[in-house]
Amino acid sequence: MENTDHEKFLRRAIEMSARASLEYSTGGAFGAVLVKDGKIVSEGMNRVIASHDPTWHAEMEAIRLACITLQSFKLPGCTLYTSAEPCPMCMATCYWAGIEQVFYGATVEDAFEYGNFDDRPIYEQLALPKEQRSIKLTQLLRDEAVVVWKKYQAKPDKIQY
């Protein structure tokens, strides 16, 4: 794909970020576009404020809608264009979905400087051993939980992913 196409799709993501933050006030200045075979499959914008949902990021919306449109929980051959560098949740979702490439506009540092969006504490927490994280993780009822996992493992018609 030519660089002009990448710029065109990224400009659309930036346009979606302006809609979310300035026009509709649904959330921060985040917009995303998911492309396959040179065509837009889906678009997303931040709706955290409007939906009262901390996971309703532009990238998440674009990925969810693309999965519905393409009827697949994997998105091989897809490229994500996003107005800002993806947060840890959105980047992890790109890995889960099998997205092959991400183009972004603003950096994590830009989002912090101009919007007070600070992902640094999340990155820092995820780098710590789980015993040292600020959200306490406590394991209970492992044997009972593993019973279900063993049944799942033996299920002949399960879909691998």
> What DSSP line would sit under 58-87, residue for residue?
HHHHHHHHHHHHHT-S--TTEEEEEEEPPP
Per-residue pLDDT tens digits of the chain, which is 161 residues long: 778 899 999 999 999 999 999 999 999 999 999 999 999 999 999 999 999 999 999 999 999 999 999 999 999 999 999 999 999 999 999 999 999 999 999 999 999 999 999 998 999 999 999 999 999 999 999 999 999 999 999 999 998 88
Please give the positions annotated as active site. 59
What are the counts of helices (DSSP H) followed by strands (DSSP E) for the chain?
7, 4
Q: pTM for the complete prediction?
A: 0.92
- The answer to whether 29 and 46 have CB atoms below 8 angstroms apart is yes
Residue 13, amino acid: A
For the chain, the 3-state helix, strand and coil shares in percent, each to the nearest 5, are 50, 15, 35
CA pair distance 49, 29, nearest whole angstrom: 12
Q: Treating both helix axes as pointing N-terminal to C-terminal, what angle do 3-18 and 58-70 enclose, rounded to 10 degrees?
A: 120
Name the 3-class secondary structure at 56: coil
Strands (E), the chain: 31-36, 39-45, 78-84, 101-106
pLDDT of residue 149: 96
Q: How many C-beta atoms lie closer than 10 Å to residue 118's C-beta?
A: 13
